[in-house]
Amino acid sequence: MNKKENPRLKNLVIRVTEKEQHEINGKAQDLGLSISDYGRQLMLKGAVLSVQKIETETEAPSTGIDRRTIIGIANNLNQLSRYANQTKQLPDIEKVLKQVEKIISKW
């Protein structure tokens, strides 16, 4: 999203315990996201997936898979998560998830 064209001007305030805040901070940090980005993705998409940014390489040497492909997979998983949360039905995606896990573990 272009910050100049569509700035985020509204704030949401939620109340959490100190323990909850610590847990939220840790999860956001583990994913390399700000608390705002983490919360926004979780509330809007129902799931949070993050792909680590690679500064020097755009391709994983062992797999030949580029960063754009990984981001595409993450977006598809977000869509599946949203579908599952909305319909309360889980399509048969276990095989696909195992393949994704293999790819990500090689990354």
Q: Provide the pLDDT for residue 64.
A: 60
Specify whether the CB–CB gap between 43 and 14 falls below 8 A: no
Per-residue pLDDT tens digits for 66-104:
777 777 878 888 887 777 778 777 666 667 777 777 777
Specify whether the CB–CB gap between 35 and 12 falls below 8 A: no
Domain boundaries, the chain: 1-50, 52-107
Per-residue pLDDT tens digits for 42-58:
888 887 776 555 444 44
pTM over 0.85: no
Q: Provide the pLDDT for residue 15.
A: 95
Specify whether the CB–CB gap between 31 and 38 falls below 8 A: yes
* 3-state SS assignment for residue 59: strand
Q: Provide the pLDDT for residue 7.
A: 87
For residue 35, pLDDT over 80 is answered with yes
Q: Provide the pLDDT for residue 52.
A: 57
Q: How many DSSP H helices and E strands does the chain contain?
A: 4, 0
